[in-house]
Structure 1
Amino acid sequence: MTEDQRNKLIERIKRLLALSKSPNEHEAAAAMSKAQELMRELSITEEDLELTDFATVRTDTLLVKSGHKLPVYVSDLACLMETAFGVECIFSDGQRNKDVIFVGTKSKTEICVYTWTVLARILKTKMAEYKFSITHLKCSPGKKAALAEEYCEGWVSGVRQNIVPDTVSQRESELTKKLINMKFKIKPADLRGSGASGDEANDAYFQGIQARENTRLHQGMQADKRGTLSETRYLGRA
């Protein structure tokens, strides 16, 4: 039996289980009997059926090259996503950049891909604008890059203050972790801090927090008619 055939039978079982709640006693009993027969035939448990509503979805981080250490601000952005949507985030090297993998219910992971893309593009723009704003500073390109990362850390921290945490049931959390254990071998991320310190670093971080004022996104957002990504939509507190 192919994976596609198995998935079709699983969907049929789910429909039969739904039909087993019919007010028509004979129809309900027949549906339950057939569902149990198929579950035994395929060695499918109730937990297997629950897991069909969960998924792992991968997308380009747009922010980190493959093989490079993960900047703290990117890790913080993943934590923001976990808080806002009740998913788990995993990083993996892609063909060119690192990928972020969202694990959770199908509806949540689909939204996460779009939301991450919006936030990552806004963040890249904010970082470029900040770098331009400090061109007058008499310091090395390396220090300017470090200050820009400190700014990004502040920006993500500021955006996170606007987020209303998603409520995740214990069962959803258990199934998410089970799916991760089934599909991935997790190891701690190799993080890299900005390396900036002192008053200039503190100032960069504070400017990042201030710059998040107009960056609020909506959990159910969609691109506008031209597919433009905007930073004026809302996620969390108004």
Structure 2
Amino acid sequence: MNAEQKKKAMERLKKLLMLSRSTNENEAAAALGKAQELMRELSVSEDDLELTDYTALEADGLLVRPGRSVPVYVMRLEGLIEKAFGCTAVWDRHQVKCKIIWLGQKSKAEISAYSWTVLARLLKNKREQYKFTHLLTGHTPGKREALADTFCEGWVAGVSRNILQDTVSAKDKRLLDLFLNQKFPNLIDLQSRGAGLTSGQVNSAYTDGIRAGQKTHLHSGVQNTKRGQVGQTQYLGAA
């Protein structure tokens, strides 16, 4: 059985399992029997079946340069989106351009990748604006970059105050972990770097970041079509 045939068989299996929940006892029993027979034939479990609704979507890393450590504010932005939509992300830094890969149920992975792209672009612009308007003079280049990173950390903290965390069931978490392990069995922890400034140096930049971030709102705004695809997403940006 090739990949296309197995895909069609899995779709048929899904339909049989749906019929097995019928209020018609005879219809339900017949559908369940056929479903169990097909599951044995395909050597699949219920978890395997549910994981067909999961996907991995790539997005441009935008805020990370190849060969460089990942800034703390980037990891926090990733974590913010993970909590908002119940997905998880991994990094691919072995290409000319760094990629971030969002994993989860298809509709959630799509909105997570979209949210990442919009927020990362917005933060990149905010960082450059802050460097130009607040840090143009009176700082060494290294200090200017460190303060800009600190501003970004504050910005992400400000955005997080407008976020409602997605409620992930124990079953969904287990399936997500299973999918992650299937896709990336040899995943290693990613090293990140902070701004490297003392507390007395960061207060102003961090506070400025929080104030700017609080003006940004993240809206899930997803409408699923009958096929489970994202039909509509709201714009993310400054209020």
Question: With structure 2 as the length reference, what TM-score do the two structures score?
Answer: 0.89
Task: After TM superposition, give the deviation of residue 214 of structure 1 in Å.
Answer: 1.8
Q: RMSD over aligned Cα, in angstroms?
A: 1.8
Q: How many residues align?
A: 229
Q: How does 1:1-238 map to 2 (within 5 A)?
A: 1-93=1-93, 95-184=95-184, 185-220=186-221, 222=232, 230-232=236-238
Unmatched segments (≥5 aa) in structure 2: 223-231
| Partner residue in 1 for 2:225 | none
Query: What is the CA distance between 1:137 and its match in structure 2?
Result: 2.6
CA deviation vs aligned residue, 1:6-64 (integer Å, no higher than 9, x gap): 11111110001111222333332322222112111111111111212222222112110
Structure 1 residue 200, shift from structure 2 partner: 3.6
Deviation at 1:94, TM superposition (A): 5.3
* Cα shift readout 1:100-124 (whole Å, capped 9, x = no counterpart): 2222222211110110011001101
CA 1:187–1:54 in structure 2 vs 1: closer, same or farther (change >3 Å)? Answer: same
TM-score normalised by length of structure 1: 0.89
Judged with a 3 Å threshold, the aligned counterparts in structure 2 of structure 1 residues 230 and 183 are, in CA distance, closer, same or farther, namely closer
Are 2:83 and 2:165, in contact at CA under 8 Å, matched by a contact in 1? Answer: yes
CA 1:223–1:24: 2 relative to 1, 3 Å: closer
Q: 1:107 to 1:69 in 2, by over 3 A?
A: same
Q: Distance in 2 between matches of 1:2 and 1:232?
A: 48
Unaligned ranges ≥5, structure 1? 234-238
Deviation at 1:179, TM superposition (A): 1.1
Checking the alignment, whether the CA contact within 8 Å between 1:67 and 1:98 is kept in structure 2 is no
**Distance in structure 2 (CA, Å) of the matches to 1:93 and 1:122:** 22
Q: Which residue of 2 aligns with 1:236?
A: none
Query: Percent of counterpart pairs with the same letter?
Result: 47
Query: Is 1:60–1:94's contact at 8 Å kept on the other side of the alignment?
Result: no
Deviation at 1:95, TM superposition (A): 2.8
Distance 1:201 1:31, change over 3 A: same
Asked whether the equivalents of residues 154 and 208 of structure 1 are also in contact (C-alpha less than 8 Å), the reply is yes
